[in-house]
């Protein structure tokens, strides 16, 4: 390929990268709004069906279980077929299942349809895999961090929708709205987002043609479990999502019933915390990228620091007396900044050590492990809350989980440099083979 052709391809790829990133940001923002809208509507939905905390926890746990089951399937599909088409399908499923969830009249049917919403919740590996083929390793932490800003902002949008429109419209009409957005976005993804060759952004493969010849294989997938850094990060993921599930589904109930906050106080507390959390994703990703340039352990160092500070500061926040609303809000905001640091760095670390043709599956395996570990978290938290208190439930689950995650990050750092160099050597071998084949 001559230089003119390469320049044209890079320019086209750059335009496609910008559109894909923007579209995926909107997808994640609206999807998270739809997914997390149920949290701020907790009291209203519980009153509609006359259920307790344990039954509420079960509603959220069943969706997580279904999502966990579908992760391996989505990962396999993404590594075999065109990722934009599959993401459009996921968006369409999101819209339809949310509509079904809005229609049902009884708790058992609500439980069943809520479970079906977990199908599209496990579709994100395709987004992260495609982004890895648009952006090189040195930028991925930053790009994933900015992309993941959509998650807390979506949570914030859901919270505002629930509080502003929830009392006027009711929770069912809000579900109709967010479901419709999913169907509309499916059309945008199908028409506008283009796929990329797997491995196109790897420095070792720059200028190499016919990357599509490297196909998914179960042998390569099996070798994932021989990479010690990945195994440790898988274990970290099993524990690491427990706090997220508990905070997502119980923080509003805790503020309302545990601290006696009204709607205005909840907004004044949560809006700053969520905005600061949103900033934590790109800050963590940027710090991880910068430290990664100096040491292969850079990303896990940032991840370890994030979970440690998040655990300490959340403990401080929960222990603030109920009457000290400002002090509680400040402590919660401080914790919110550090809690997301691990997310973009763990994701980038996966792709630092895995072959391009199995990256969606790798991400799906991790998400499956995370979901399998945390699916019971809302139910466990509900049981603890019924028997003790929401404060004890949130604090106990979060601090213990993050302490274990810190230890896993430390262990991952022992193996990361070797696994990163092993992948680079493999990609260099592919490039040399391609050049040799081109010369014959």
Query: Three-class SS of residue 65?
Result: helix
Write the CA distances from 366 to 65, 109, 235, 371, integer angstroms.
14, 30, 9, 9
Tokens standing for residue 203: 């420095």
Measuring CA to CA, which residue among 151, 119, 66 is closest to residue 347? 151
Does residue 236 contact residue 409 with C-beta atoms inside 8 Å? yes
Gap between the Cα atoms of 64 and 111, Å rounded: 12
Contact 178, 33 (CB under 8 A): yes
Q: Domain residues for 39?
A: 16-198+223-439
Would you call 400 helix, strand, or coil by DSSP?
A: helix
Tell me the C-alpha to C-alpha distance, in Å, between residue 113 and each of 53, 96, 102.
19, 10, 9
The model carries a pTM of 0.78
Computed from CA positions of residues 123, 125, 130, 131, in that sequence, does the dihedral angle turn out positive or negative?
Answer: positive
Buried/exposed code over 23-40 (b: 16+ C-beta within 10 A; e: otherwise): bbbebbbbbbbbbbbbbb
For residue 191, what are the contacts with CB-CB under 8 A and spacing of at least 6? none
Q: Which residue intervals of 133-262 are DSSP H helices? A: 137-148, 150-164, 166-169, 171-192, 218-222, 228-240, 242-253
The Cα 123–Cα 35 span in angstroms is 13
- 268: domain CATH number is 1.20.1250.20
Q: Rounded to an integer, what is the distance from CA 114 to the centroid of its chain? A: 19
Does residue 432 lie within any of the structural domains? yes
Q: Is residue 6 in some structural domain? A: no
At residue 43, φ and ψ (nearest 5 deg) are -60, -45
Tell me which residue of 245, 278, 307 sits closest to 68, measured CA to CA. 245
What does the longest C-alpha to C-alpha distance in the chain come to?
A: 78
Residue 259 within a domain:
yes
Q: Is 14 buried (19+), middle (13-18) or exposed (0-12) by CB count in 10 A?
A: exposed
Q: Count of domains in the chain? A: 1
What is the 8-class DSSP label of residue 256? I
Q: Please give the pLDDT value at position 8.
A: 40
Cα–Cα distance for residue pair 241/25, rounded to 1 Å: 21
**pLDDT at residue number 211:** 67
Cβ burial of 401 (10 Å; 0-12, 13-18, 19+) is: buried
pLDDT, one tens digit for every residue, the chain (440 residues): 444 344 444 444 566 888 999 999 999 999 988 887 887 788 788 888 888 888 887 887 888 788 888 988 999 999 988 999 999 999 999 999 999 999 988 998 999 999 998 899 888 989 999 998 999 888 898 999 999 898 888 888 887 888 788 778 888 888 999 999 999 999 999 999 998 888 888 888 877 776 666 788 888 888 888 899 999 999 998 888 888 878 877 887 888 888 888 878 888 888 899 899 989 999 999 999 999 999 999 999 999 999 999 999 999 999 999 889 999 999 999 999 999 999 999 989 988 999 988 888 888 888 888 877 676 777 788 888 888 888 888 888 899 999 999 999 999 999 999 999 999 998 888 888 877 776 65
Chain-centre distance for alpha carbon 60: 16
pLDDT at site 210: 64
Whether 153 maps to a domain, the answer reads yes
In a domain, 204, yes or no: no
CA-nearest of 375, 374, 383 to 56 is 383
Describe the crossing of helices 42-49 and 242-253 by its angle, rounded to 10 degrees.
Answer: 80
* 9 inside domain: no
Both tokens of residue 122? 């496990």
Q: Are 386 and 53 in contact (CB under 8 A)?
A: yes
Residue among 142, 154, 182 at smallest CA distance from 39:
154
Question: What burial class does residue 123 get, using C-beta atoms within 10 Å of its C-beta: 0-12 exposed, 13-18 middle, 19+ buried?
Answer: buried
Residues 259, 261, 266, 270, Cα dihedral to 10°: -20
């Amino acid at each position: 390929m001559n230089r003119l052709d390469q320049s044209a391809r890079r320019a086209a790829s750059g335009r496609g990268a910008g559109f894909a990133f923007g579209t995926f940001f909107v997808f994640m923002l609206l999807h998270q709004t739809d997914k997390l809208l149920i949290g701020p509507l907790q009291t209203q939905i519980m009153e509609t069906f006359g259920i307790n905390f344990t039954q509420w926890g079960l509603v959220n746990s069943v969706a997580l279980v279904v999502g966990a089951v579908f992760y391996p399937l989505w990962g396999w599909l993404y590594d075999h077929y065109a990722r934009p088409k599959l993401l459009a399908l996921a968006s369409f499923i999101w819209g339809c299942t949310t509509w079904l969830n809005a229609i049902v009249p009884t708790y058992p049917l609500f439980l069943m349809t809520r479970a079906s919403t977990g199908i599209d919740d496990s579709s994100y590996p395709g987004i992260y895999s495609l982004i890895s083929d648009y952006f090189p390793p040195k930028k991925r932490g930053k790009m994933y961090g900015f992309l993941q800003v959509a998650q807390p902002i979506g949570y914030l949008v859901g919270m505002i929708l629930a509080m502003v429109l929830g009392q006027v419209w009711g929770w069912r009409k809000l579900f109709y709205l967010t479901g419709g957005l999913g169907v509309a976005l499916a059309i945008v993804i199908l028409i506008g987002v283009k796929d990329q060759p797997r491995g196109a952004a790897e420095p070792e493969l720059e200028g190499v043609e016919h990357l599509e010849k490297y196909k998914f294989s179960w042998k390569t997938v099996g070798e994932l479990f021989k990479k010690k850094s990945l195994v440790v990060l898988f274990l970290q993921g099993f524990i690491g999502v427990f706090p997220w599930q508990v905070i997502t589904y119980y923080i509003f109930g805790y503020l309302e019933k545990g601290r006696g906050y009204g709607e205005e106080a909840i907004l004044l507390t949560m809006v700053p915390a969520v905005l600061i959390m949103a900033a934590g994703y790109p800050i963590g990703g940027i710090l991880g990228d910068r430290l990664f340039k100096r040491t292969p352990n850079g990303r896990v160092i940032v991840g370890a620091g994030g979970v440690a500070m998040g655990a300490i500061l959340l403990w401080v926040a929960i222990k603030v007396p109920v009457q000290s609303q400002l002090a509680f809000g400040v402590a919660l905001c401080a914790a919110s900044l550090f809690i997301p640091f691990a997310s973009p760095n763990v994701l980038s670390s996966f792709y630092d050590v895995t072959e391009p043709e199995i990256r969606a599956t790798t991400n799906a395996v991790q998400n499956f492990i995370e979901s399998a570990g945390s699916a019971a978290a809302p139910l466990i938290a509900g049981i603890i809350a019924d028997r003790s208190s929401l404060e004890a439930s949130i604090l106990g689950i979060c601090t213990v989980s993050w302490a274990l995650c810190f230890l896993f990050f430390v262990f991952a750092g022992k193996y990361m440099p070797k696994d990163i160099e092993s992948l680079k050597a493999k990609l260099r071998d592919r490039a040399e083979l391609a050049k040799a084949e081109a010369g014959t």
